[in-house]
Amino acid sequence: MSRHADVQAALTDPAFQVPAVDSGPPGTLAWLRANVSRFSPPRRHADRRAVVVAGLAALNPEDLRHDAARLTVAVLDRAGDRVDVMRELARPVPLRALAARLGFADPAAAATAVAVVAAAYHPGVDPALTARADRAVPPLLALAPQGPPEVRANLIGLLVQACDATAGLIGAAAHHLLPPAAAGTARTADLLAEVLRLDPPVRATRRVTVDEARVGGQDLPAGSAVLLRFDAANRDPQAFTRPAMFQPGRPGAGLLTFGTGERGCPGDRHAVALAAGVLDVLRERCRRGPTPMSYEPHPTLRVPTTLEVTVR
């Protein structure tokens, strides 16, 4: 589905559910997936989502923004004249800032392990990546704050959800907005909102119909696999005036990159704050040349492989 109205309808219709995942032995990647709100069935989703919401409620997005900016400055200060944004900043900085505020014992170690888990988080990946992730989950559990296993699993899941999506947002923003002439004097928050619309890091999400459903004039039987395209919906001319134009601060709402409804991302403000902290510093201190972009292979995410900038 690619029309804005259809994607929004499917995201809020209980007939469209997240595909089920299999569990596994405690401390494995399969166990983690089966215990986080992201992949939970309706009967378990609300309680597990509440763990994530409570963890985020204690965090001030502005504190995360300042933490991310401080860590970015530290990286640039020791980087020399060039730095790879994706390797040195886009993943490790937001993860370290978020892990520290969530109370993980060693934020740097947690960030490294989370990146390994994130690479295999979605079902159907290379078995070698899954094996690496299986080895990374127990150290993450050991670093997580004390609590019931399901609570700790969902705090880890929060970090995993932030990993590639926030990295992709930072990479896309740096690609589009450096040098500063491309961004003008617009606020970083407005720039990121428009990057999220035009070049979202999460391109799509999957659903399966558990009952018969009708969306966009089409009847779908139960058991239909559906791909909801955020990237296309965010460019739907029925929802956005001049949708191909980069227009920071455009009026109105309707952005679907963070989803909507009961499974909408509860950490959208936190993710934008983390990305803004990194981008604030990049806009002030870095430039990038016209090198072409390449992206990691993934069916639903868009994350640059490398993005080298010159540091002032």
pLDDT (0 to 100) of residue 183: 65
Q: Write down the pLDDT at residue 7.
A: 96
> For the chain, what percent of residues have pLDDT higher than 70?
97
Q: What is the pLDDT at residue 114?
A: 97
Q: Which of 190, 191, 179, 165 is nearest to 296 (CA)?
A: 165
CA separation for the pair 219, 1 (Å, rounded): 13
Average pLDDT over residues 198-227: 95
Contact between residue 113 and residue 96 where contact means Cβ atoms under 8 Å apart? no
- Which of 44-58, 60-74, 123-137, 286-300 bottoms out in mean pLDDT, i.e. has the lowest? 286-300
- Backbone φ and ψ for 218, nearest 5 degrees, come out as -115, 130
Q: How far is CA 278 from CA 29, 89, 163, 167, in A?
A: 29, 7, 14, 10
| Cα(102)–Cα(145) distance, integer angstroms | 8
Residue 69 confidence (pLDDT): 98
Would you place residue 181 in the very low, low, confident or very high pLDDT band (cuts 50, 70, 90)?
low
Specify the CATH number for the domain of residue 201: 1.10.630.10
Per-residue confidence (pLDDT) for residue 107, from 0 to 100: 97
Find, among 48, 54, 46, the residue nearest to 32 by Cα. Answer: 48
| In the predicted structure, residue 95 carries a pLDDT above the cut 90 | yes
Rounded to the nearest integer, the mean pLDDT of the chain is 93
Is 49 a residue whose pLDDT tops 70? yes
CB 172 within 8 A of CB 304: yes
The number of beta carbons lying within 10 Å of the beta carbon of residue 260 is 14
| Cis amide linkage into residue 201, ω under 30° from 0 | no
- Total domain count for the chain? 1
Containing structural domain, residue 185? 4-311
**Span 179-208, mean pLDDT?**
87
Q: Cβ distance 32 to 38 under 8 Å?
A: no
Across the range 252-266, mean pLDDT stands at: 89
Quick one: which of 177, 202, 175, 196 has its CA closest to 253?
Answer: 196
Q: Which residues contact 159 (CB under 8 A, 6 or more apart)?
A: 95, 98, 99, 102, 104, 110, 111, 114, 140
Q: Is the pLDDT of residue 286 over 80?
A: yes
pLDDT reported for residue 178? 83
Contact status, residue 151 vs residue 91, Cβ threshold 8 Å: no
| Euclidean distance between CA atoms 83 and 74, whole angstroms | 12
